[in-house]
Amino acid sequence: MRTKKRKLSYSLLFTALLIGSLLMFVPYLWMVLTSFKSNSEILTASNHLLPQKPTLAGYKKVLGEVPFFRWFLNSLSTSAIVTVGAMFTSALAGYVFAKFRFRGKRLLFVVILATMMVPFQIVMVPMYVIISKLNLVNDLSAIVIPYLVSAFGIFMAKQFIEAIPSELIEAARMDGASEFRTFWSLVMPQIKPALSALAIFSFMAAWNNYLWPLIILNEESKMTVPLALVFFNGQNVVNYNVVMSAAVLIMIPVVIIFLIFQKQFIKGLTMTGFK
Amino acid sequence: MKKTLEWIMTLMLTASLALAGCSSSGNNAANTDGEGGDKPIKLVWWVHESPSFVEANKKLIADYKKVKPHVTIDLQVFPYDAFVQKIRVAMNTKTPPDIVQMFGTWVREYAKNGLLEPAPNGAELEAEVYPAAIGGFQYDGQVYGVPHEFNIENGAALRYPKMFQEAGIDKDPATWEELIEDAKKLTKRNGDKITVRGLDITSNDSIVFYFLALIQQQGADFWNEDRTQVSFSTPEAEKAMQELVDLVNVHKVTDLSKLGTTEEPYMVFFKGQSAMTTAGPWTIAEGINTFNVQDFDYMPIPSFTDHPAVFSSESGWGEVVSKQSPNSQAAWEFVQFMMEEENALAWNLQTSSIPANKHVAEDPKYLESAPHVKAAVEALPNGRWIGPLADRDYFFKVIIDTFAAIAYNKKGLQDGLKKAETDINKMLKSKQ
Amino acid sequence: MSKQQVSERRFIFLSLAPIVLLFAVFSILPIGIGTVLMFFDYSPLSSNVPFAGLKHIRELFADELFYKSLRITFVFVLVAIPANIAFTLMIAVGINKIRGRFWKNSFRTMFFLPAIAPLAGSAVIWTTMFNADSGVVNMAFQMLGLPQIDWLTDPSTALLSVIIMTLWADVGYNIVLFMAGLDSIPESLYEAAELDGASPWHVFWSITLPMLSRTMLFVFIMTSISYFQMFPQFQIMTKGGPLYETYVLALNIYDQAFTYMNMSYASAMAFVMLLIILVLTLIQMRIGRSQWEH
């Protein structure tokens, strides 16, 4: 009796989750289906889920008339630099904060941590002012430089490096290794898992960032993917099949990369929550 | 390990160099010696997104290439909302666009802050161009830029003659009352929901133009004497706003479902969801080219009262040249080229906009080639410059929001108008 | 100083200096400038910056729209955060009960997938889905015989629509975090409860929830900080309308700063936002700490 009831509730749970996850998938399905609709079908406001006369016109427009690959490249290169930079600076600063003693260390660390709490809305105007004084408005480096350091990354790296026994580091120094050498070949490998988690985080944050690029980048050729998509959307209010085609092209590589690295991804994500 | 370090460092370095390379290929690559000659010059030209405008602009660039092959013009197209923000942000940097196709009403703000080059032939322009079209470009005795078009957004309406026939209407409305009656007949419903709007003048910018026009058609004005403050707490303003609200709540010839969305009234019209809507003549080109609609025409809209059907008009799109531009001379040469009568006419025809230049507009050749804009051309004498709005988009937004709040019964008519007046006056005080 | 100490000093200085410089220029200095800016009249169009005193702060307290956006922000946060946490916890517990790695992983992937897409892109897609005339949501409603709704243009449903979209886009993170939290609860506790014959409901309240309190606190703080600053979907889907029913503080600040170019006024508004987030985070941490002490 009891097992029967259990079986029933299990299959109920299973069905509920299945329906739920299918519902989660609807927007993607909609995006793909709409991308194959023709211009006139969209204009006549017809109520069909499936494209009546499937066409590749939307994709042709995206690949032919706008600098789509440029946008992709912009996003990829800036996100990659931000990721590498943030990993490196976080590990370095984390190491210094974890294993060295100097005056003002505690204060400095607390100040850096406190910047995490500050909403972006309060720094965006001054950051804009600073960037325009540096003459970097509409320059891709404006979306790279401010993100080369990460308070969260430093915090995480410090936690992990503190767990490395100090004797190990002392021993390396005794062997005559330079400070940087010790950091690079002893400390870095030890905190690899933390660094890969951080890499995932920084990359996602940089890739998905919308507000700052929106403020600081002007020209179409400088835009990153999310910004360009919204911009493109504004230019094609009427024929949003084109916008959906661009969205599909943007999502596919992201989804593939995610499916490949899924395990590391989820492991990294949980790590940021627990250390 | 050390190798990996070197490798990553090299990677980072090349990547940042590549980035630096990309960025300097933008504005900075422009030739700095502005003196024409035959050295290659690159001009950056910013325009807003509107398919027929973009096409017309591209054609001008192609034509100019034939005349001056060494000048490359880089056309940058922005959606309207982004355009408003981006020029504000970009004009005071060291690398602004050389030329901007700016909306006339915005120009004052930039001229006032010394960011634009005055036109070398200002006096000539003042004589040749309609006052409403040039008003926005004038500041402190100078003309900052050259208007392309007479921006007219009301006075005439797009409509489907077929729907008029189906509704049994055989003549154009001659009075406001007839207009409302016709609109009621044209409105189609499915249950409570309107499927075809009879008269759609209560979405986005239309509201503002109609609100101001209805005030003026009662013989009143919304400005004070020296045009520094507005007044919306007059009986005329109240009557005007009430009439617009009544279209939605009493006559029920339109609804609020498109308010504030990116679907402009003319798009709704060309999708067949309204029978009549006011829109500038430029939407005609959009309808024919983008929406593939042919069976519509353009009719005059009667006055709200016995007074002539006067209305406020903004200074439309026109070219300005940035003061910071290292190639301002080359930029002016291109602007002058655009304004040569033949080129200006071609531009106006392709965008179905009304020429700013009196010669061009009054040339019979023009109406011959663009018969569909007749209603708009005939309304031109009734157009008056809207006045120094300072922050144009704020001005419009306040009135649209006020209309929405009153139509949704969130605010009383008088309270709402009083609040709008206060907000706009505050902005005018700080920015005019 | 020994040679060792000298090289140590040099290392600390060389490695921290650039990092601290970046923090100084792009995090600390902006906070300072932002605070100072609200006492001036700064405009990027003009080069003189007159002193304005408390003008902007006085204006702020008289600004109906500021109160409105403050209210909308709180409504959004107070609905979306509990909904998010209840929803994600439920799904995480559900997925954890699924037997077989394949299905467990597949479900997790399906629920997580939206989280990797740029929020701005998702907002664009959802705008078309919510379109009253041609969107898929109204199509589904029509099929089910439900009334057609102007999702994004009706003042009574606009905020709800944005919340639905936000939940769709954002639940993935918390599901993964909760699942990891559930994994770390020792199996023995559940076995003991089963021997006692406790009901599943009782098990959830007396074992699962208390054991998850650490994860819960983390999830709660992170979600609150990010939801207070949510921006793309409001700007893209509704632009704050209709009737400002979706005009959150983040969008108001952006508009003031970059649409109307009242950068000083925007700074005053942002400062209020900072205070709110600071106070809320401190309260949450205090509550969290007292819970741990139990």
Its ipTM equals 0.89
Helix crossing, B392-407 with B413-431: angle to 10°?
A: 170
Looking at per-residue pLDDT, the higher value among C236 and C52 belongs to: C236
pLDDT band per the 50, 70, 90 thresholds, residue B57? very high
Strand, helix or coil at A69? helix
| pLDDT number for residue C122 | 93
The pTM score is: 0.88
C275-283 long-range contacts (CB < 8 A, ≥24 apart) are C276/C228, C277/A117, C277/A119, C277/C224, C277/C225, C277/C228, C278/A117, C280/C224, C280/C228, C281/A117, C281/C221, C281/C224, C281/C225
Per residue in B382-420, pLDDT tens? 888 888 888 888 999 999 999 999 999 989 999 999 999
- Residue in C242, C243, C259 closest to B85 by CB: C259
Distance, in Å, from the CA atom of C158 to the CA atom of A78, rounded to the nearest integer, reads: 35
Mean pLDDT value of segment C218-232? 89
Query: Structure tokens of B128?
Result: 């040749």
Q: Show which of residues 91-130 on chain A sit within 8 Å of chain B, judged by CB atoms.
A: 128
DSSP string, B130-186: -HHHHGGGEETTEE-SEE-EE---SSEEEE-HHHHHHTT--S---SHHHHHHHHHHH
Distance, in Å, from the CA atom of B400 to the CA atom of B387, rounded to the nearest integer, reads: 18
Mean pLDDT value across chain B: 85
Interface test with C, best of A105, A125, A141, A161 (most C CBs within 10 A): A125
Q: Answer for the pair C11, A177: CB distance below 8 angstroms, yes or no.
A: no
Neighbour tally for B171: CB within 10 Å: 8
Per residue in B6-50, pLDDT tens? 454 455 445 544 544 444 444 444 444 444 457 888 999 999 988
Q: Answer for the pair B334, B234: CB distance below 8 angstroms, yes or no.
A: no
Strand, helix or coil at B84? helix
Measured in whole angstroms, the distance separating CA C96 from the mean position of its chain's CA atoms is: 25
pLDDT band per the 50, 70, 90 thresholds, residue A46? low
- Residue in B84, B88, B393 closest to C45 by CB: B88
Mean pLDDT value of segment C173-195? 88
Q: Show which of residues 85-144 on chain B sit within 8 Å of chain A, judged by CB atoms.
A: 86, 89-90, 92-95
Distance, in Å, from the CA atom of C103 to the CA atom of B68, rounded to the nearest integer, reads: 66
- Is the pLDDT at C69 greater than 70, yes or no? yes
Nearest to B312 by CA among B402, B204, B214: B214
Which chain A residues have a beta carbon less than 8 Å from that of B18? 77
Distance, in Å, from the CA atom of C221 to the CA atom of C77, rounded to the nearest integer, reads: 12
Neighbour tally for B362: CB within 10 Å: 12
Q: What is the 8-class DSSP label of residue B64?
A: H
B39 sits in the region (left: phi over 0; alpha: psi -120 to 50; else beta) called beta
Cβ–Cβ contact C237 with B under 8 A: no
Nearest to B159 by CA among B169, B147, B148, B146: B169
| pLDDT number for residue A265 | 79
Burial class of residue C148 in the structure, from the number of CB atoms within 10 Å of its CB (0-12 exposed, 13-18 middle, 19+ buried): middle
Residues paired with B101 in a beta bridge: B319
Nearest to B400 by CA among C253, C265, C239: C239
Given an 8 Å threshold on Cβ–Cβ distance, is B89 in contact with A235? Answer: no
Given an 8 Å threshold on Cβ–Cβ distance, is A141 in contact with B18? Answer: no
Distance, in Å, from the CA atom of C274 to the CA atom of C280, rounded to the nearest integer, reads: 10
- Could you tell me what percent of chain B has a pLDDT over 70? 91
Mean pLDDT value of segment B188-217? 89
Handedness of CA A188, C173, A16, C183 (dihedral sign): positive
Nearest to A228 by CA among C120, B81, C114, C125: C120
Strand, helix or coil at C197? coil
Cβ–Cβ contact C154 with B under 8 A: yes
CA distances from A184 to A91, A104, A151, B426, C14 (A): 9, 25, 20, 60, 15
Nearest to C263 by CA among B84, B430, A129, A210: A129
**Chain C, nearest residue to B419 by Cα:** C64
| pLDDT number for residue A27 | 94
Instruction: Please list, in sequence order, all residues whose beta carbon lies within 8 angstroms of the beta carbon of residue C106, skipping any fewer than 6 positions away.
Output: A21
Mean pLDDT value of segment C48-74? 90
Cβ–Cβ contact A186 with B under 8 A: no
Query: Structure tokens of C29?
Result: 């200095």
Q: Is the peptide bond before C242 cis (omega within 30 degrees of 0)?
A: yes
Mean pLDDT value across chain A: 87
Neighbour tally for B181: CB within 10 Å: 15
Nearest to B221 by CA among B238, B205, B239, B237: B237
Distance from CA of A261 to the nearest CA of B (A): 21
Given an 8 Å threshold on Cβ–Cβ distance, is B391 in contact with C260? Answer: yes
Query: Structure tokens of B411?
Result: 């605010």
Interface test with A, best of C1, C4, C8, C16 (most A CBs within 10 A): C16
pLDDT band per the 50, 70, 90 thresholds, residue A48? confident
Distance, in Å, from the CA atom of B424 to the CA atom of B399, rounded to the nearest integer, reads: 9
| pLDDT number for residue C23 | 92
Distance, in Å, from the CA atom of C130 to the CA atom of A200, rounded to the nearest integer, reads: 32
| pLDDT number for residue B12 | 47
Q: Answer for the pair B225, B416: CB distance below 8 angstroms, yes or no.
A: no
| pLDDT number for residue A209 | 92
Lowest mean pLDDT among A43-57, B232-246, C24-38: A43-57
Measured in whole angstroms, the distance separating CA C114 from the mean position of its chain's CA atoms is: 15
Mean pLDDT value of segment B177-183? 92
Interface test with A, best of B5, B273, B292 (most A CBs within 10 A): B5
Distance, in Å, from the CA atom of B120 to the CA atom of B145, rounded to the nearest integer, reads: 9
Given an 8 Å threshold on Cβ–Cβ distance, is C26 in contact with A130? Answer: yes
Strands B146-147 and B193-196: unpaired
Mean pLDDT value of segment A220-233? 88
Query: Structure tokens of B132?
Result: 């409403």
pLDDT band per the 50, 70, 90 thresholds, residue C277? confident
| pLDDT number for residue C67 | 95
Distance from CA of C216 to the nearest CA of A (A): 10
Helices and strands per DSSP (H, E), number in chain C: 15, 0
Mean pLDDT value across chain C: 89
